[in-house]
A = this chain, B = another copy of it.
């Protein structure tokens, strides 16, 4: 990025998508290309899955601690999903955005709706599977849940996908590379939007700063 294209405030990016769509893999690929993005680790009360690390995938907290955070107004958004709480810390996000750092949130549809309400300038991206059959295959391949849980997740996934109409962008996760590349283009394009660059333009061409 050249000096003339520096921006002052970071972009708040929300990525949602149903269980099994491959969000974590796409996020890893994206973050490996865009090391300047801050990935906001959500707080959750659910049990860690095999291989998940506290503070990396999620910050795992007790139900009591989570409810304290709600009461103290420390969360930008939170939601209950399949019996567990998930939420986002407001403080960390604000600090990063103020520093000009882009912040990526991996949150589900209820949480995204709350972010939209509180931060209308946030960029909302929904990751959809290439087909429902493929989503089902991916959920089975994950193999960490019983069949009944998988079926519940699949039904929930269909419901969540219906909410994609409220997002700014839809990205199909047919391959991880394609999906990560499209998200990168979306982020670059968003930086070029007139309302975000108007200050820069005023500086260059002496627009009246009304």
Chain A interfacial positions (CB closer than 8 Å to B): 2, 4-5, 125-126, 128-132, 158, 161-162, 164-165, 167-172, 174-175, 178, 182, 184-186, 188-190, 192-194, 197-198, 200-201, 204-208
Contact among B5, B130, B185 for A4, CB-based, below 8 A: B130
**Residue contact B2 to A178, C-beta cutoff 8 Å:** yes
Contact B205 A192 (CB under 8 A): no
Contact yes or no, B169 A201, CB < 8 A: no
Q: Which of A158, A170, A182 has the most CB of B within 10 A?
A: A170
B132 and A206: CB pair below 8 A? yes
A201-B170 in contact (CB<8A): yes
Residues in B neighbouring A205, C-beta threshold 8 A: 128-129, 132, 158, 161-162, 164
Residues from chain B with Cβ under 8 Å of A200 in the complex: 170, 172
Residues of the B chain whose Cβ atoms lie less than 8 Å from the Cβ of A182: 188-189, 192
Which chain B residues border A132 with CB–CB below 8 Å?
A: 204-206
Task: State the Cβ distance, A4 to closest chain B Cβ, in Å.
Answer: 5
Query: Within 8 Å CB of A161, what residues of B?
Result: 201, 205, 207
Least distance between A208 CB and chain B CB atoms (Å): 8
> B194 and A170: CB pair below 8 A?
yes
For the complex, give the distance between the alpha carbons of A172 and B182 in Å: 22
**In angstroms, how far is the closest chain B Cβ from the Cβ of A130?**
5
Minimal beta-carbon separation of A192 from chain B (angstroms): 4
Give the distance to chain B from A21, nearest Cβ to Cβ, in Å. Answer: 11
Q: How far is the CA of A192 from the CA of B171 in the complex (A)?
A: 6
B170 close to A5 (CB less than 8 A): no
Given the known interface contacts A4-B130, A178-B2, A188-B185, the answer about A204 and B165 at a Cβ–Cβ threshold of 8 Å is: no
With the chains together, A170 CA to B5 CA distance in Å? 10
Q: Looking at the complex, which one of B126, B172, B175, B197 makes contact with A170 (CB distance below 8 Å)?
A: B197
Quick check: A174 and B2 within 8 Å, CB to CB?
Answer: yes
